[in-house]
Protein backbone atom coordinates (compact mmCIF):
# COMPACT_ATOMS: atom_id res chain seq x y z
CA UNK A 1 0.00 0.00 0.00
CA UNK A 2 2.72 2.46 1.04
CA UNK A 3 4.82 1.42 -1.94
CA UNK A 4 1.85 2.03 -4.23
CA UNK A 5 1.35 5.51 -2.72
CA UNK A 6 5.01 6.35 -3.12
CA UNK A 7 5.09 4.93 -6.62
CA UNK A 8 1.97 6.96 -7.38
CA UNK A 9 3.76 10.08 -6.09
CA UNK A 10 6.74 9.40 -8.33
CA UNK A 11 4.45 8.58 -11.23
CA UNK A 12 2.44 11.76 -10.59
CA UNK A 13 5.60 13.80 -10.74
CA UNK A 14 6.57 11.92 -13.86
CA UNK A 15 3.14 12.60 -15.34
CA UNK A 16 3.56 16.33 -14.81
CA UNK A 17 6.92 16.24 -16.51
CA UNK A 18 5.41 13.96 -19.13
CA UNK A 19 2.63 16.47 -19.79
CA UNK A 20 5.24 18.95 -20.92
CA UNK A 21 6.77 16.36 -23.22
CA UNK A 22 3.33 15.35 -24.49
CA UNK A 23 2.48 18.96 -25.42
CA UNK A 24 5.69 19.28 -27.42
CA UNK A 25 5.10 15.88 -28.92
CA UNK A 26 1.48 16.67 -29.85
CA UNK A 27 2.65 19.25 -32.37
CA UNK A 28 5.04 16.78 -33.97
CA UNK A 29 2.40 14.08 -33.86
CA UNK A 30 -0.09 16.37 -35.63
CA UNK A 31 2.43 16.92 -38.43
CA UNK A 32 3.07 13.18 -38.50
CA UNK A 33 -0.67 12.54 -38.53
CA UNK A 34 -1.12 14.92 -41.49
CA UNK A 35 1.65 13.18 -43.39
CA UNK A 36 0.05 9.83 -42.56
CA UNK A 37 -3.29 11.10 -43.88
CA UNK A 38 -1.63 11.91 -47.20
CA UNK A 39 -0.09 8.44 -47.22
CA UNK A 40 -3.48 6.93 -46.49
CA UNK A 41 -5.05 8.86 -49.37
CA UNK A 42 -2.33 7.61 -51.73
CA UNK A 43 -2.79 4.07 -50.48
CA UNK A 44 -6.53 4.36 -51.05
CA UNK A 45 -5.97 5.14 -54.73
CA UNK A 46 -4.02 1.90 -55.14
CA UNK A 47 -6.42 -0.18 -53.07
CA UNK A 48 -9.47 1.05 -55.00
CA UNK A 49 -8.98 -1.75 -57.51
CA UNK A 50 -9.55 -4.33 -54.80
CA UNK A 51 -12.83 -5.23 -53.22
CA UNK A 52 -14.45 -2.85 -50.70
CA UNK A 53 -14.25 -5.37 -47.87
CA UNK A 54 -10.50 -5.87 -48.28
CA UNK A 55 -9.95 -2.13 -48.58
CA UNK A 56 -11.82 -1.33 -45.37
CA UNK A 57 -9.98 -4.03 -43.45
CA UNK A 58 -6.56 -2.86 -44.59
CA UNK A 59 -7.33 0.78 -43.90
CA UNK A 60 -8.51 0.01 -40.38
CA UNK A 61 -5.40 -2.05 -39.67
CA UNK A 62 -3.15 0.67 -41.05
CA UNK A 63 -4.86 3.38 -39.01
CA UNK A 64 -4.75 1.25 -35.87
CA UNK A 65 -1.06 0.45 -36.32
CA UNK A 66 -0.27 4.10 -37.00
CA UNK A 67 -2.10 5.12 -33.86
CA UNK A 68 -0.26 2.46 -31.87
CA UNK A 69 3.05 3.75 -33.20
CA UNK A 70 2.13 7.32 -32.33
CA UNK A 71 1.09 6.39 -28.80
CA UNK A 72 4.25 4.35 -28.38
CA UNK A 73 6.22 7.42 -29.48
CA UNK A 74 4.74 9.40 -26.58
CA UNK A 75 5.86 6.84 -24.00
CA UNK A 76 9.27 6.46 -25.65
CA UNK A 77 9.74 10.23 -25.61
CA UNK A 78 8.87 10.29 -21.91
CA UNK A 79 11.36 7.48 -21.25
CA UNK A 80 13.99 9.46 -23.16
CA UNK A 81 13.14 12.50 -21.07
CA UNK A 82 13.65 10.53 -17.84
CA UNK A 83 16.83 8.96 -19.14
CA UNK A 84 18.34 12.35 -20.07
CA UNK A 85 17.40 14.30 -16.92
CA UNK A 86 20.34 16.14 -15.39
CA UNK A 87 21.33 17.89 -12.21
CA UNK A 88 18.86 18.73 -9.47
CA UNK A 89 15.92 17.22 -11.31
CA UNK A 90 17.67 13.85 -11.60
CA UNK A 91 18.84 14.01 -7.98
CA UNK A 92 15.31 14.79 -6.75
CA UNK A 93 13.81 11.81 -8.63
CA UNK A 94 16.51 9.43 -7.40
CA UNK A 95 16.14 10.70 -3.84
CA UNK A 96 12.39 9.93 -3.95
CA UNK A 97 13.10 6.46 -5.35
CA UNK A 98 15.69 5.86 -2.63
CA UNK A 99 13.27 6.87 0.13
CA UNK A 100 10.56 4.67 -1.31
CA UNK A 101 12.74 1.59 -1.85
CA UNK A 102 14.38 1.81 1.57
CA UNK A 103 10.97 1.76 3.25
CA UNK A 104 10.00 -1.37 1.33
CA UNK A 105 12.98 -3.58 2.18
CA UNK A 106 13.93 -4.04 5.81
CA UNK A 107 17.52 -5.18 5.17
CA UNK A 108 18.71 -3.73 1.87
CA UNK A 109 21.88 -5.21 0.45
CA UNK A 110 22.50 -4.35 -3.20
CA UNK A 111 21.53 -1.43 -5.41
CA UNK A 112 21.55 -1.94 -9.18
CA UNK A 113 21.97 1.12 -11.43
CA UNK A 114 23.35 2.06 -14.79
CA UNK A 115 27.01 3.00 -14.85
CA UNK A 116 26.29 6.73 -15.31
CA UNK A 117 24.36 6.89 -12.02
CA UNK A 118 26.86 5.24 -9.67
CA UNK A 119 28.11 8.49 -8.09
CA UNK A 120 24.59 9.76 -7.43
CA UNK A 121 23.39 6.45 -5.98
CA UNK A 122 26.45 6.05 -3.74
CA UNK A 123 25.43 9.25 -1.95
CA UNK A 124 21.87 8.00 -1.45
CA UNK A 125 22.69 4.41 -0.42
CA UNK A 126 25.78 4.71 1.78
CA UNK A 127 27.11 1.39 2.99
CA UNK A 128 25.30 -0.71 0.38
CA UNK A 129 26.89 -2.60 -2.46
CA UNK A 130 26.36 -0.84 -5.79
CA UNK A 131 26.30 -2.94 -8.97
CA UNK A 132 25.87 -1.80 -12.52
CA UNK A 133 23.25 -3.23 -14.81
CA UNK A 134 22.03 -2.40 -18.30
CA UNK A 135 18.94 -0.24 -17.90
CA UNK A 136 17.54 3.07 -19.12
CA UNK A 137 17.88 4.62 -15.66
CA UNK A 138 16.36 4.38 -12.24
CA UNK A 139 17.38 1.69 -9.81
CA UNK A 140 16.60 -1.68 -8.29
CA UNK A 141 17.14 -2.46 -4.60
CA UNK A 142 17.65 -6.04 -3.47
CA UNK A 143 17.49 -7.31 0.10
CA UNK A 144 20.68 -8.64 1.66
CA UNK A 145 19.28 -12.19 1.52
CA UNK A 146 18.33 -11.80 -2.15
CA UNK A 147 14.67 -12.67 -1.53
CA UNK A 148 13.20 -9.20 -2.12
CA UNK A 149 13.65 -6.88 -5.06
CA UNK A 150 12.12 -3.44 -5.62
CA UNK A 151 12.21 -2.42 -9.28
CA UNK A 152 12.20 1.34 -9.93
CA UNK A 153 13.91 1.21 -13.32
CA UNK A 154 12.63 3.95 -15.61
CA UNK A 155 11.49 1.42 -18.19
CA UNK A 156 9.46 -0.41 -15.53
CA UNK A 157 7.89 2.82 -14.27
CA UNK A 158 7.00 3.91 -17.81
CA UNK A 159 5.41 0.53 -18.53
CA UNK A 160 3.41 0.84 -15.31
CA UNK A 161 2.38 4.36 -16.30
CA UNK A 162 1.48 3.12 -19.78
CA UNK A 163 -0.75 0.41 -18.35
CA UNK A 164 -2.59 2.98 -16.27
CA UNK A 165 -2.85 5.80 -18.81
CA UNK A 166 -3.03 4.21 -22.27
CA UNK A 167 -6.76 4.77 -22.71
CA UNK A 168 -6.67 8.39 -21.62
CA UNK A 169 -3.59 9.16 -23.75
CA UNK A 170 -5.31 7.61 -26.77
CA UNK A 171 -8.45 9.60 -26.04
CA UNK A 172 -6.44 12.83 -25.81
CA UNK A 173 -4.51 12.11 -29.00
CA UNK A 174 -7.32 10.75 -31.16
CA UNK A 175 -10.53 11.83 -29.46
CA UNK A 176 -11.63 8.22 -29.09
The pLDDT tens digits for 31-83 are 777 777 787 777 767 666 556 777 678 878 887 878 888 888 888 998 999 99
> Regarding beta strands 129-132 and 108-113, do their DSSP bridges make them parallel or antiparallel, or are they unpaired?
parallel
Residue 11: is its pLDDT beyond 70? no
Whole-number pLDDT of residue 74 = 86
b/e sequence 127-155, b meaning 16+ C-beta within 10 Å: ebebeeeebbbbbbbbbeeeeeebbbbbb
Q: Which fold has domain 87-156?
A: hypothetical protein PF0899 fold (3.30.2320)
In the chain, domain spans: 2-85+166-174, 87-156
Q: What is the sign of the dihedral through the CA atoms of 95, 96, 100 and 101?
A: negative
* pLDDT tens, position by position, 153-174: 999 999 998 888 888 888 888 8
Amino acid sequence: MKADKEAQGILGEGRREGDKTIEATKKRLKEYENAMKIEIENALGQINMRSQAVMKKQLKEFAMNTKKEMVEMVYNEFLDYLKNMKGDERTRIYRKMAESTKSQISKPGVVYVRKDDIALVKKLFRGLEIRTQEMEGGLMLESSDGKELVDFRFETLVELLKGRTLKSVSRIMFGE
